[in-house]
Structure 1
C-alpha cells in the first residue's frame, strides 16, 4: 500500500466485495461489520481493503472483534490496529493476528490492553 511501512506491504488484502463473497453475505453487511468494529480496513487509492488473515474460512477470526474493540478504546486508529496485529510481538511467538488464528485470544487481548494504555 502506498506510503505505508513494510508490514503493511506484506499483508494480503481483500476488497469489501471479496470479504462479502467469502463470508457469504451482501456487501452492505461487510460495511455493517466495520461499523460494529467486527472488522477494520485501510483505504488504498480510495478503496477499502481488509486483511485476508482477518477471515478464517467463511468466518471472522475468533476473538478479533474483541481485540479490535480494546485497541479502538485505547485510541488506535484502524490503520494502527492493523499494524499492531501484523507486527511481531516479543512476548508472542509471532504476530498477534497469528496468535488469534492459533486460538490464543486471551494472550492477545492482554497484550492489546497493555499496548492501549
Structure 2
C-alpha cells in the first residue's frame, strides 16, 4: 500500500532540527517562532496533525539544565566570580540557549511524530467519537 511504507526517522529528525518539513526537507516547518504551519509550502504535506504540546519545553529545560548546571559548578570552582557576574552571565546563557533550542526541539518532535505516523500523520484515521 502506498501510505504504509516506512518513513525514515533519522532524516525526519534532522529536517525537524533544521525547522524544515519532515517530508521534503525544503519547506519551512514553522510559521514565525513556534507555530507549525498547517501545510508545507513546498510539497503540500499536512502538518496540522502534530501534537507537540509541552514536549519541546520539557526537553529544552532538560537540555539547558544538563548543560548549564555542570558549567555553573565548573565556573564557580575554577574562578569564584562575583555573584552578580555569575547571575548575569548564566541568566543570559540560559535565556539564549533556551531560545535557540525551543523551535529546533519542536521541529524534532514533529519530525518524530511524522516518521512514526503518530496522531493524524497516519493515512488510516481512527474514528472520532
TM-score (norm 1): 0.29
Structure number with bigger Rg:
2
* Bigger relative contact order (CA 8 A; separation at least 6): 2
TM-score (norm 2): 0.27
